[in-house]
Copies of this chain bind each other. A is one copy, B any other.
Amino acid sequence: MAFHLLQHDRHAALQIARALEHAVSSIKHCDLCNTLTEQDICRTCSNAQRDRSKLCVVETPADQAALERTLAYRGLYFVLMGKLSPLDGIGPHDIGLQKLFDRVVPKDDAGLLMPVESREVQEVILATNFTAEGEATAHVISQALKSRGVQVTRLARGVPVGSELEYVDLGTIAHALVDRR
């Protein structure tokens, strides 16, 4: 890319440079969901049309974008901006799980955990990746939230749409069998 720009399109190179500069100075994290945005609160979080009782937990803004493209989800998001990875020394504190817990199970004025019926978030949908780290992250969040009475669900694991069994990996088929509906 660098070679192409320097040889054929120096004007575009300057444009990209300025766009990057602008992005670095103006794009920050949403106060509510952590995703990348130019506002204090991102457009999704401030959209009154969204279902505020559902909170979908994803690892990155790219994952959030993938879910948004499906047009199948009308709730809000919480972007972890990472995943648990003990081998790399990344623990629950590094990915801000506490912020998620405080959001889902807020404290009242007396400093006590709010009872289930008066909480805004009624269901947390775990949409972390189906990799080892993503599964571990989902497990930790699920354990913590379930112990506080939150309904926690996980994206279905199974055979992808359009695929032929013969070419699907064994782990996926085994899961699809166990999770049959």
Residues of A that sit less than 8 Å from B by CB: 58-60, 62-63, 65-67, 69-73, 125, 127, 129-131, 134, 153-166, 168-181
Contacts and interface: CB of A to CB of B under 8 A. Distances in A.
Given A159-B130, A159-B160, A162-B131, A73 B168 contact: no
Nearest to A132: B162
Contact of A129 (B163, B178, B181): B163
B67 A177 contact: yes
Nearest to A72: B174
B70 A165 contact: no
A180 B63 contact: no
Pairs of residues from A and B, 10 with the lowest C-beta to C-beta distance, nearest first:
A156-B158, A158-B158, A156-B179, A72-B174, A70-B174, A155-B176, A161-B171, A153-B180, A156-B176, A160-B172
Contacts of A164: 63, 129-131, 134
Contacts of A70: 170-171, 173-174, 177
A159 B155 contact: yes
6 contacts: A66-B165, A130-B162, A156-B175, A156-B178, A157-B159, A158-B179
A65 B72 CA distance: 34
